[in-house]
Amino acid sequence: MSTLRAPGLGRRIDFTQKLHEKTSRDYVARVAEGDKAACAEVASRFGAEYWDGDRRYGYGGYRYDGRWRPIAERIAAAYELRAGDRVLDVGCGKGFLLFELTQVVPGIEIAGLDISQYGLENAKEEIRSHTRLGSATALPFEDGSFDLVISLGTLHNLGVAGLWSSLREIERVRKRAAYVMVESYRDEREKVNLLNWQLTCRSFYSVEDWEWIFSQVPYGGDYGFIFFT
């Protein structure tokens, strides 16, 4: 786990890049084969096609396989989570990370929020009752409700206004810590790969631009990126 700090911001922490790199991708084929614009339109509904349909629409089948356990362990260690702590996952999807957190830290209190009705209906059964439908731009929770708020791979799917609103909402409901992970790029190759591969991303920013946005909101939690190398 690598940790960096940008001036005036929280810690930059990498929890997920190794998991991200385990997936093989043909960036050119994603654009050359079929109508990518049509595929992106389907993916942006975040329905069954996005989660469990053909790969051209999204995950191509997103099922529990234990891959999130190491990440849950790293997050629990980094934020010293204990029984009784409250954790919110903004954009929880099927809730696999939340489930793993309950296994790594018995007695933790969890909540998940997502805009995908299909994702929530097919969430891990053990944590399904702890999830709810909603938008990251208006979190249905009281101020300072959570010891840790996380959002992995979600906020880049919002436009500028929604992105800023969501970061401010995360700041509002966190009592102690927050961690946001988004897609980004460090050079032209990674930017082209991201543009070719993405289906739902609306905020395309370099690392430096993301850090500027975080500082201007202002968002004071930790953050990280995944890169399409």
Q: Which CATH superfamily is domain 9-26+67-227 in?
A: Vaccinia Virus protein VP39 (3.40.50.150)
CA distances 184 to 36, 97, 223, 224, 228, Å, are: 20, 21, 12, 9, 8
What is the number of helices (H) and of strands (E) in the chain?
Answer: 10, 8
Q: Is residue 32 pLDDT above 80, yes or no?
A: no
What pLDDT score does 154 carry? Answer: 98
- C-alpha to C-alpha distance for 17 and 159, rounded to whole angstroms: 24
The DSSP secondary-structure symbol of 121 reads H
Residue 27 has what pLDDT?
Answer: 84
The count of residues in the chain is 229
Q: Tokens 């919002």: give the residue.
A: 158
Q: What is the pLDDT of residue 8?
A: 63
Report whether pLDDT(122) > 70. Answer: yes
The answer to whether 162 and 136 have CB atoms below 8 angstroms apart is: yes
Residue extents of the structural domains in the chain: 9-26+67-227
pLDDT of residue 34: 76
Q: What is the pTM of this model?
A: 0.94
Q: What is the pLDDT of residues 128-164, one digit of tens each?
A: 999 999 999 999 999 999 999 999 999 999 999 999 9
